[in-house]
Amino acid sequence: MKNSIVLMMLFSLVLVQACSVEPVPLVYGKDMCHTCKMTLVDTKFGAEILTKKGKVYTFDDMNCLLSFYTSDYEKRSNIQQVLVIDFTAPGKLIDASTAHFVRADAIRSPMASGVAACSTAEGLATHNTEWNGELLTWDEVVQKIK
Amino acid sequence: MLALLGILVCIIPAVHATTYKIGNQHNIKTIREGIALAKAGDTLLISAGIYREGNLVLEKALTLIGENFPVLDGENKYEILTVHAQHVVIQGFRFIDTGIASINDLAAIKILESKFVSILNNRFENTFFGIYFASSSDCLVDKNQLTANAEAEHQIGNGIHLWKCQRMTIRNNRIKGQRDGIYFEFVTDSHILNNYSEGNMRYGLHFMFSNDDEYRDNTFINNGAGVAVMYTKGVKMIHNTFEHNWGSSSYGLLLKDIRDSFVLDNVFKENSIGIFMEGSSRNEIKNNEFVKNGYALRLQASCDDNVFEHNNFRQNTFDLVTNGSLVLNTIKSNYWDRYEGYDLNKDKVGDVPYRPISLYGTVIERMPTAILLWRSFFVFLLDRAEKAIPVITPENLKDELPSMIPYDLR
């Protein structure tokens, strides 16, 4: 009896895990930007929207991400997480809501948004001495970048 | 008097120009020495040999001519030549093995804020970016050959890369194995003529925010995703060949947010999708040959006021698919090899309209897995039934004047 309860619990744990939504790494050279249809190639830029049902939308640049995010194509309430690529760690996805952003003309992003993201403020500071860009939080990015 | 003065001004620098010979057998052994010694207007004649000089910076109006293709070696570390000057000519060199960097775009030749630069008849092998222009104008890139062997797209840069330029001419080049063969971003009033772009990882030609340009007589073959022309108005795409661009997200030509442009006299052959159009308006697609494509045209409902006229559609799996029911484009007087109508008055125009959209094509658009049923008897029956009584396919999407005979286009 006790064994079967343990088994049941284990089984339900497996079920819960199977339902949880996990970020999917971007595959550069294969994945296509949902907005602009370009193949992702620049590993310093990129983003991903994860829905609660586990659907993944990939983007090559912040403006492509935001034109999708601010449209009603997928309701905000359905979005589980927004992830962006860390400029200083190519290919690494980080949570957008806690990320630090900088916008500068000198940043050559795939769709010319000129926005780079990083998990820490210091990570961008060294690059930004050269760029002289504007530091932004996620909420500011959502308002300003189109 | 003024004319005489003009002639004098032209002659004076020519008189003072000196030619320096550079090479192992000459007094000046390195190109770096030569550049330091020379004055604006001088010529450096570089003998055959291998030159490993790291990054050379050119900031005066010099003509560099290679004899029998001297090799400039980047040793997999350096950007080879950086130009920041006017009236520079670089001719007859072999550039090999630049460095690869993810933050800086290292190039064999990088031209920054320059004017009247000519890059003629050079060869580039395994360079990260080949020829890279930024904020320049009135330059010429003629008869260069670029080849690269990269395994992944992000390990290789673009062949000929232009960013924020005006009045540029890119002609007679051959580009193979780069990320994008030719890349235009914010480039206006420029020409891309008679280039051959083959086997590039992503696009044969990539074109963004570049208004009022023209590309003509180019061949784009076997590229990862074909050719992409995006977010631009006033482009002329004339007499090009888009061939064999195969893959799930691959097309001969992607037109995304394009306005007031022309697609004339081109050949689209053996592509997964001949033309993929999204968010594009007021374009003319005329006199093109669509042959043996998966989809000849894939027209998203976000397109309007486009005219498709006088094209040949032959041996395509699907002539046209769309994802909406509203028809805002004009399709007329094309030749469709699937047309089964008749011509009683013998005016070479079919008497009944042709509907280029098949029911099965529409079904696949909504449910891609239905491709399994392709060429089955079931699909044949469905298409016949739909032709007789259109239910799902857009009723108004038809060619009222289908030509009975193919046009002689090329």
- Bridge partners, residue B58, by sequence: B83
For chain A, percent of residues with pLDDT exceeding 70: 87
Number of C-beta neighbours around residue B88 at 10 A: 25
Average pLDDT over residues A96-101: 94
Q: Is residue B177's pLDDT more than 70?
A: yes
Q: Is residue B154's pLDDT more than 70?
A: no
Pairing of strands A100-103, A115-118: antiparallel
Q: Is residue A13's pLDDT more than 70?
A: no
DSSP-derived secondary structure for B292-332: S-SEEEEE-TT-BS-EEES-EEES-SEEEEES-S---SEEE
Interface of A with B in 73-102 (CB under 8 A): 90
B249: contact with A, CB 8 A cutoff:
yes
Distance, CA of B352 to chain centre: 38
> B150: buried, middle or exposed (CB in 10 Å: 19+, 13-18, 0-12)?
middle
Average pLDDT over residues B202-207: 93
Q: Is residue A20's pLDDT more than 80?
A: no
The angle, 0 to 180 degrees and rounded to 10, between the axes of the packed helices B377-388 and B359-366 is 110
Number of C-beta neighbours around residue B314 at 10 A: 17
A112 and B185 in contact by Cβ < 8 A? Answer: yes
**A35 neighbors A68 (Cβ within 8 angstroms):** yes
Distance CA A56, CA A34 (A): 10
Average pLDDT over residues A25-38: 89
Of the candidates B158, B102, B171, the residue with the CA atom closest to the CA atom of residue B131: B158
| Confidence at residue A1, expressed as pLDDT on a 0 to 100 scale | 54
**Six-digit token string for B343:** 């011509």
Q: Is residue A18's pLDDT more than 90?
A: no
- pLDDT tens-digit series, residues B19-69: 999 999 999 999 999 999 999 999 999 999 999 999 999 999 999 999 999
B209 and A112 in contact by Cβ < 8 A? Answer: yes
**Which of A33, A36, A39 to probe by mutation at the B interface, max B CB count within 10 Å?**
A39
pTM above 0.90, yes or no: no
**CA of A75 vs chain B CAs: smallest distance (Å):** 21
Distance CA B181, CA B170 (A): 12
Number of A:B CB contacts under 8 A? 43
Q: What are phi and psi of B378, to 5 degrees?
A: -55, -45
**B158 neighbors B135 (Cβ within 8 angstroms):** no
- pLDDT tens-digit series, residues B66-105: 999 999 999 999 999 999 999 999 999 999 999 987 677 8
Alpha helices for chain A (secondary structure H): 2-19, 62-69, 121-131, 138-144
The ipTM, to two decimals, is 0.71
| Confidence at residue B15, expressed as pLDDT on a 0 to 100 scale | 54
| Confidence at residue B59, expressed as pLDDT on a 0 to 100 scale | 95
A29 and B201 in contact by Cβ < 8 A? Answer: yes
B158: nearest CA partner in chain A: A41
Distance CA B240, CA B323 (A): 28
Task: Match 């390195």 to its residue by tokens.
Answer: B30
The rounded mean pLDDT for chain B is 91
**B272 neighbors B295 (Cβ within 8 angstroms):** yes
Q: Please report the domains of chain B, with CATH numbers, ordered by start residue.
A: 18-224 (2.160.20.10)
Domain ranges in chain A? 23-144
Average pLDDT over residues B181-188: 96
